[in-house]
Protein backbone atom coordinates (compact mmCIF):
# COMPACT_ATOMS: atom_id res chain seq x y z
CA UNK A 1 0.00 0.00 0.00
CA UNK A 2 1.17 3.48 -0.61
CA UNK A 3 2.20 5.31 2.51
CA UNK A 4 -0.43 7.99 2.27
CA UNK A 5 -3.17 5.47 1.69
CA UNK A 6 -1.96 3.58 4.73
CA UNK A 7 -1.85 6.79 6.70
CA UNK A 8 -5.41 7.56 5.74
CA UNK A 9 -6.56 4.10 6.56
CA UNK A 10 -4.78 4.26 9.85
CA UNK A 11 -6.28 7.57 10.77
CA UNK A 12 -9.74 6.34 9.98
CA UNK A 13 -9.69 2.70 10.90
CA UNK A 14 -6.27 1.49 11.83
CA UNK A 15 -5.88 3.15 15.17
CA UNK A 16 -9.26 1.82 16.18
CA UNK A 17 -8.09 -1.71 15.50
CA UNK A 18 -4.96 -1.12 17.51
CA UNK A 19 -6.81 0.16 20.53
CA UNK A 20 -9.40 -2.56 20.24
CA UNK A 21 -6.74 -5.24 20.10
CA UNK A 22 -5.04 -3.96 23.23
CA UNK A 23 -8.30 -4.13 25.09
CA UNK A 24 -9.11 -7.47 23.59
CA UNK A 25 -6.03 -8.82 25.29
CA UNK A 26 -7.10 -7.17 28.52
CA UNK A 27 -10.57 -8.62 28.30
CA UNK A 28 -9.66 -12.06 27.08
CA UNK A 29 -6.55 -13.06 28.96
CA UNK A 30 -8.25 -14.15 32.17
CA UNK A 31 -10.89 -15.89 30.11
CA UNK A 32 -8.19 -17.83 28.32
CA UNK A 33 -7.18 -19.19 31.70
CA UNK A 34 -10.71 -20.39 32.22
CA UNK A 35 -10.69 -21.99 28.81
CA UNK A 36 -7.40 -23.79 29.25
CA UNK A 37 -8.30 -24.88 32.75
CA UNK A 38 -11.34 -26.60 31.36
CA UNK A 39 -8.97 -28.89 29.49
CA UNK A 40 -6.47 -29.30 32.29
CA UNK A 41 -5.99 -32.55 34.08
CA UNK A 42 -5.28 -30.87 37.39
CA UNK A 43 -7.13 -27.65 37.02
CA UNK A 44 -6.33 -24.80 39.32
CA UNK A 45 -7.49 -21.34 38.41
CA UNK A 46 -4.50 -19.77 40.10
CA UNK A 47 -2.04 -21.79 38.07
CA UNK A 48 1.15 -20.20 36.97
CA UNK A 49 0.93 -21.70 33.51
CA UNK A 50 -1.51 -20.76 30.84
CA UNK A 51 -1.11 -23.99 28.95
CA UNK A 52 -1.46 -26.91 31.32
CA UNK A 53 0.94 -29.80 31.28
CA UNK A 54 -1.56 -32.52 30.65
CA UNK A 55 -4.75 -32.05 28.73
CA UNK A 56 -7.97 -33.94 29.06
CA UNK A 57 -11.55 -33.85 27.97
CA UNK A 58 -12.81 -35.46 31.13
CA UNK A 59 -14.45 -32.33 32.50
CA UNK A 60 -16.56 -31.88 29.41
CA UNK A 61 -17.34 -35.56 29.40
CA UNK A 62 -18.50 -35.32 32.98
CA UNK A 63 -20.90 -32.57 32.06
CA UNK A 64 -22.32 -34.30 29.06
CA UNK A 65 -23.04 -37.80 30.08
CA UNK A 66 -23.10 -38.35 33.81
CA UNK A 67 -26.48 -39.37 35.22
CA UNK A 68 -25.50 -37.92 38.58
CA UNK A 69 -24.86 -34.56 36.98
CA UNK A 70 -27.84 -33.62 34.79
CA UNK A 71 -25.96 -30.71 33.29
CA UNK A 72 -28.04 -30.49 30.16
CA UNK A 73 -31.14 -30.20 32.33
CA UNK A 74 -29.46 -27.45 34.28
CA UNK A 75 -28.53 -25.61 31.08
CA UNK A 76 -32.05 -25.92 29.80
CA UNK A 77 -33.51 -24.72 33.09
CA UNK A 78 -31.14 -21.79 33.23
CA UNK A 79 -31.88 -20.62 29.73
CA UNK A 80 -35.59 -21.16 30.15
CA UNK A 81 -35.77 -19.18 33.36
CA UNK A 82 -33.42 -16.45 32.17
CA UNK A 83 -35.11 -15.94 28.83
CA UNK A 84 -38.62 -15.86 30.23
CA UNK A 85 -37.71 -13.65 33.16
CA UNK A 86 -35.64 -11.29 31.04
CA UNK A 87 -38.36 -11.03 28.44
CA UNK A 88 -41.07 -10.15 30.93
CA UNK A 89 -38.71 -7.88 32.73
CA UNK A 90 -38.23 -5.91 29.55
CA UNK A 91 -41.93 -6.00 28.78
CA UNK A 92 -43.03 -4.67 32.16
CA UNK A 93 -40.22 -2.14 32.16
CA UNK A 94 -41.22 -0.86 28.75
CA UNK A 95 -44.83 -0.47 29.79
CA UNK A 96 -43.82 1.60 32.74
CA UNK A 97 -41.30 3.58 30.71
CA UNK A 98 -44.00 4.47 28.21
CA UNK A 99 -46.11 5.97 30.97
CA UNK A 100 -43.20 8.02 32.26
CA UNK A 101 -42.23 9.17 28.83
CA UNK A 102 -45.50 9.80 27.06
CA UNK A 103 -48.17 10.37 29.63
CA UNK A 104 -48.33 13.63 31.46
CA UNK A 105 -48.97 13.38 35.14
CA UNK A 106 -47.82 15.13 38.22
CA UNK A 107 -44.80 13.87 40.03
CA UNK A 108 -43.47 11.97 37.04
CA UNK A 109 -39.83 12.42 37.76
CA UNK A 110 -40.20 12.01 41.51
CA UNK A 111 -42.02 8.72 41.23
CA UNK A 112 -39.59 7.33 38.70
CA UNK A 113 -36.75 8.32 40.98
CA UNK A 114 -38.49 6.65 43.89
CA UNK A 115 -38.73 3.43 41.96
CA UNK A 116 -35.05 3.60 41.11
CA UNK A 117 -34.03 4.32 44.66
CA UNK A 118 -36.19 1.60 46.14
CA UNK A 119 -34.28 -0.86 44.03
CA UNK A 120 -31.02 0.20 45.63
CA UNK A 121 -31.84 -1.25 49.02
CA UNK A 122 -29.03 -3.61 50.01
CA UNK A 123 -30.51 -7.05 49.88
CA UNK A 124 -28.43 -8.36 52.71
CA UNK A 125 -31.27 -10.18 54.36
CA UNK A 126 -33.70 -9.99 51.49
CA UNK A 127 -33.35 -13.66 50.84
CA UNK A 128 -34.65 -14.47 54.30
CA UNK A 129 -37.73 -12.34 53.72
CA UNK A 130 -38.35 -13.96 50.35
CA UNK A 131 -37.83 -17.40 51.84
CA UNK A 132 -40.44 -16.72 54.50
CA UNK A 133 -42.87 -15.20 52.05
CA UNK A 134 -42.60 -18.15 49.74
CA UNK A 135 -43.08 -20.67 52.54
CA UNK A 136 -46.50 -19.13 52.80
CA UNK A 137 -47.06 -18.99 49.08
CA UNK A 138 -46.17 -22.67 48.83
CA UNK A 139 -49.09 -23.53 51.07
CA UNK A 140 -51.63 -21.32 49.40
CA UNK A 141 -50.61 -21.31 45.74
CA UNK A 142 -48.34 -24.31 45.25
CA UNK A 143 -47.64 -23.77 41.58
CA UNK A 144 -45.65 -20.68 42.34
CA UNK A 145 -44.19 -21.78 45.62
CA UNK A 146 -40.75 -22.85 46.67
CA UNK A 147 -39.25 -25.41 44.41
CA UNK A 148 -40.91 -24.11 41.28
CA UNK A 149 -39.44 -22.31 38.33
CA UNK A 150 -42.58 -20.20 38.14
CA UNK A 151 -42.05 -18.76 41.60
CA UNK A 152 -38.40 -18.04 40.88
CA UNK A 153 -39.24 -16.20 37.69
CA UNK A 154 -41.74 -14.06 39.57
CA UNK A 155 -39.10 -13.01 42.04
CA UNK A 156 -36.79 -11.97 39.23
CA UNK A 157 -39.55 -9.72 37.92
CA UNK A 158 -39.13 -7.61 41.04
CA UNK A 159 -36.40 -5.72 39.29
CA UNK A 160 -38.37 -4.99 36.15
CA UNK A 161 -39.18 -1.36 36.73
CA UNK A 162 -36.72 1.07 38.19
CA UNK A 163 -33.39 1.25 36.39
CA UNK A 164 -34.66 -0.48 33.31
CA UNK A 165 -37.56 1.90 32.99
CA UNK A 166 -35.35 4.91 33.40
CA UNK A 167 -33.05 3.81 30.64
CA UNK A 168 -35.89 2.94 28.31
CA UNK A 169 -37.65 6.18 29.11
CA UNK A 170 -34.54 8.13 28.25
CA UNK A 171 -34.45 6.42 24.92
CA UNK A 172 -38.14 6.96 24.32
CA UNK A 173 -37.77 10.64 25.07
CA UNK A 174 -35.61 11.03 22.02
CA UNK A 175 -38.39 9.79 19.77
CA UNK A 176 -40.15 12.80 18.45
CA UNK A 177 -43.66 13.37 19.83
CA UNK A 178 -44.81 14.32 16.37
CA UNK A 179 -44.91 10.63 15.60
CA UNK A 180 -47.44 10.18 18.37
CA UNK A 181 -49.48 13.09 17.13
CA UNK A 182 -49.52 11.80 13.62
CA UNK A 183 -50.74 8.46 14.85
CA UNK A 184 -53.42 10.00 17.02
CA UNK A 185 -54.69 11.94 14.07
CA UNK A 186 -55.02 8.60 12.32
CA UNK A 187 -57.18 7.35 15.20
CA UNK A 188 -54.73 5.09 17.00
CA UNK A 189 -55.33 4.18 20.67
CA UNK A 190 -52.72 4.67 23.34
CA UNK A 191 -51.81 1.02 23.33
CA UNK A 192 -51.54 0.93 19.56
CA UNK A 193 -49.19 3.87 19.58
CA UNK A 194 -47.15 2.03 22.12
CA UNK A 195 -47.03 -1.32 20.42
CA UNK A 196 -46.80 -0.30 16.82
CA UNK A 197 -44.68 2.80 16.92
CA UNK A 198 -42.82 3.56 20.11
CA UNK A 199 -41.78 0.11 21.23
CA UNK A 200 -40.27 -0.96 17.91
CA UNK A 201 -38.28 2.25 17.74
CA UNK A 202 -36.75 1.55 21.13
CA UNK A 203 -35.64 -1.87 20.09
CA UNK A 204 -31.91 -1.26 20.45
CA UNK A 205 -32.14 -0.33 24.08
CA UNK A 206 -34.64 -3.09 24.75
CA UNK A 207 -32.19 -5.61 23.48
CA UNK A 208 -29.40 -4.16 25.55
CA UNK A 209 -31.55 -4.37 28.64
CA UNK A 210 -32.60 -7.87 27.73
CA UNK A 211 -28.99 -8.96 27.51
CA UNK A 212 -28.07 -7.30 30.79
CA UNK A 213 -31.05 -8.72 32.63
CA UNK A 214 -30.47 -12.11 31.08
CA UNK A 215 -26.89 -12.24 32.23
CA UNK A 216 -27.82 -11.00 35.69
CA UNK A 217 -30.40 -13.72 36.09
CA UNK A 218 -28.38 -16.59 34.79
CA UNK A 219 -25.48 -15.73 37.09
CA UNK A 220 -27.74 -15.53 40.09
CA UNK A 221 -27.02 -18.12 42.68
CA UNK A 222 -28.61 -17.03 45.95
CA UNK A 223 -32.25 -16.77 44.90
CA UNK A 224 -32.08 -19.86 42.72
CA UNK A 225 -30.52 -21.84 45.55
CA UNK A 226 -33.32 -20.84 47.89
CA UNK A 227 -35.98 -21.95 45.49
CA UNK A 228 -34.70 -25.03 43.77
CA UNK A 229 -34.06 -28.14 45.80
CA UNK A 230 -34.80 -30.84 43.25
CA UNK A 231 -31.61 -31.69 41.43
CA UNK A 232 -33.31 -31.83 38.07
CA UNK A 233 -34.73 -28.35 38.51
CA UNK A 234 -31.47 -26.65 39.36
CA UNK A 235 -29.92 -23.93 37.31
CA UNK A 236 -26.29 -24.13 36.28
CA UNK A 237 -25.21 -21.75 39.05
CA UNK A 238 -26.88 -23.84 41.72
CA UNK A 239 -25.73 -27.12 40.29
CA UNK A 240 -22.12 -26.16 39.93
CA UNK A 241 -21.92 -24.54 43.33
CA UNK A 242 -23.56 -27.44 45.11
CA UNK A 243 -21.92 -30.36 43.40
CA UNK A 244 -18.47 -29.11 42.60
CA UNK A 245 -17.63 -26.66 45.32
CA UNK A 246 -16.49 -27.94 48.70
CA UNK A 247 -15.27 -26.40 51.90
CA UNK A 248 -11.74 -25.72 50.76
CA UNK A 249 -11.37 -26.87 47.26
CA UNK A 250 -13.47 -27.14 44.21
CA UNK A 251 -13.37 -29.06 41.01
CA UNK A 252 -12.06 -26.15 38.98
CA UNK A 253 -11.79 -28.10 35.79
CA UNK A 254 -15.49 -28.82 35.72
CA UNK A 255 -16.33 -25.32 36.86
CA UNK A 256 -14.22 -23.88 34.07
CA UNK A 257 -15.78 -26.19 31.51
CA UNK A 258 -19.22 -25.18 32.70
CA UNK A 259 -18.38 -21.51 32.42
CA UNK A 260 -17.20 -22.01 28.86
CA UNK A 261 -20.29 -23.95 27.88
CA UNK A 262 -22.64 -21.44 29.43
CA UNK A 263 -20.89 -18.34 28.12
CA UNK A 264 -20.54 -19.38 24.51
CA UNK A 265 -24.17 -19.00 23.46
CA UNK A 266 -24.27 -15.57 25.03
CA UNK A 267 -21.36 -14.43 22.96
CA UNK A 268 -22.99 -15.93 19.86
CA UNK A 269 -26.25 -14.26 20.74
CA UNK A 270 -24.57 -10.96 21.06
CA UNK A 271 -22.92 -11.21 17.70
CA UNK A 272 -26.29 -12.03 16.23
CA UNK A 273 -28.15 -9.26 17.96
CA UNK A 274 -25.73 -6.53 17.15
CA UNK A 275 -27.50 -5.47 14.03
CA UNK A 276 -30.63 -4.90 16.07
CA UNK A 277 -28.79 -2.82 18.59
CA UNK A 278 -26.86 -0.63 16.28
CA UNK A 279 -29.23 -0.46 13.36
CA UNK A 280 -30.24 2.96 12.14
CA UNK A 281 -32.74 4.39 14.51
CA UNK A 282 -34.63 7.54 13.97
CA UNK A 283 -33.88 7.50 10.33
CA UNK A 284 -37.07 8.25 8.54
CA UNK A 285 -38.94 9.67 11.50
CA UNK A 286 -40.49 13.06 11.29
CA UNK A 287 -37.94 15.68 12.19
CA UNK A 288 -39.05 17.69 15.18
Partner 1 sequence: MTFIKSVFMYIQKGEYMKNNKSRFIVILLMLSMVAVACGGDTAEEVVETPEVTEAPQETLAAPATTAPPPEVIVVWAEEKVATALDPLVGAYEAAAGVDVEVVVYEFGAIRTDVQTAGPAGEGPDVFLGAHDWVGELAANGVIQPINLSSVSADLFEVGINAFSYDGMSYGFPYATEAIAMYYNADLTDGVPASWDDVKAACDAAGTELCVGAPGGGGGADAYHNHPFVASAGGYVFKISGGFDPNDVGLDNANALVSAEYLDSLVKDGVVASTDYGGSMSAFQEGRSLFWMTGPWARNDASAVNYNVGLIPAFGDSPATPFVGVRGAMVSSFSEKKLLAESFILDFFATVEVQEAMYNSDPRLPATKSLFAIVEAADPVAAAFAASASNGIPMPNIPEMGSVWGPFGDALLIIRDQAYGTNEETGVTVNSATDAMKLAAEQIRTAIAGG
Partner 2 sequence: MKKSTVFRYLFLAIFNSFVVYSIPLTITFESWFLLSLILLIALLVNIVYFSDRFLPMKWILPGMIFLISFVVFPAVYNTFVSFTNWSTGHILTKSQVVNILESRTFTPEDQQGIEFDLYVFQDTNLEFYYLADIDDQNILFGKAVTFENINDSNFAVHEPSLIQNGDIIPPSGFNLLTGKDQIANSTTLQELSLVIDKNTRAQLFKISVFGASTGLLSSTSQLYTFDESSDSITNNSTNTICMAEVDNFVCDGEEIDPGWRVFVGFDNYQKLFSNQRIRGPLSLVTKWTFQFAFVTVLLAFSVGLFLSLVLNKENLKFQRIYRAIFILPYAIPAFVSVLVWKGLLNPDYGVINTWLSPLYEMLEIEPIQWLKTKESARSAVLLVNTWLGFPYMFLITTGALQSIPKNLIEAARVDGASSLQTFWRIVFPLLMVSISPLLIGSFAFNFNNFTLIFLLSGGGPPVIGSEVAVGWTDILISFSYKLAISGGRGNLFGLASTVSIIIFALVLLISAISFRYTKRLERIYGNI
Question: Which parts of 66-85 interact with partner 1 (CB under 8 A)?
Answer: 68
The full length of the chain comes to 288
- Window 206-265: residues binding partner 2 (CB under 8 A): 207-208, 211-212, 215, 219, 237, 255-256, 259, 262-263
Name the residue nearer to partner 1 (CB basis): 66 or 276. 66
**Residue 38 CB-half CA count within 13 A:** 17
Please tell me what DSSP assigns to residue 159: G
Strand partners, 40: 55
The angle that helices 163-173 and 108-118 make with each other, rounded to 10 degrees, is 140
Site string for partner 2, 78-117 (x = CB under 8 A): --------------xx-xx-xxx--x-x---x---x-xxx
Name the residue among 68, 174, 161 with its Cα closest to residue 112: 161
For partner 2, the binding residue among 27, 51, 57, 286 (CB under 8 A) is 27
Contact 40, 54 (CB under 8 A): yes
Contact 277, 208 (CB under 8 A): yes
Name the residue nearer to partner 2 (CB basis): 76 or 191. 191
**From the CB of 250, what's the least distance to partner 1, in Å?**
10
With binding defined as CB under 8 A, does residue 49 bind partner 1? yes
Q: From the list partner 1, partner 2, none, which binds 254 (C-beta under 5 to 8 Å, kind-based)?
A: none
Q: From the list partner 2, partner 1, none, which binds 9 (C-beta under 5 to 8 Å, kind-based)?
A: none
Amino acid sequence: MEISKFNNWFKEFGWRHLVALIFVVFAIYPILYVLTNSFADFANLTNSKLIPDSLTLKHYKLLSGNPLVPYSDWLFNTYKISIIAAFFNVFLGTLAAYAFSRLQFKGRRASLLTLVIVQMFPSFLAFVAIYLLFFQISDVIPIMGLGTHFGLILVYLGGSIGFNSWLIKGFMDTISPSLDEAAKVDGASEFQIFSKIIAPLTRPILIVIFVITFIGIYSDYILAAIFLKDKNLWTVAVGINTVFVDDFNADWGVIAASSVIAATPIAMLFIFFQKQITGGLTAGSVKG
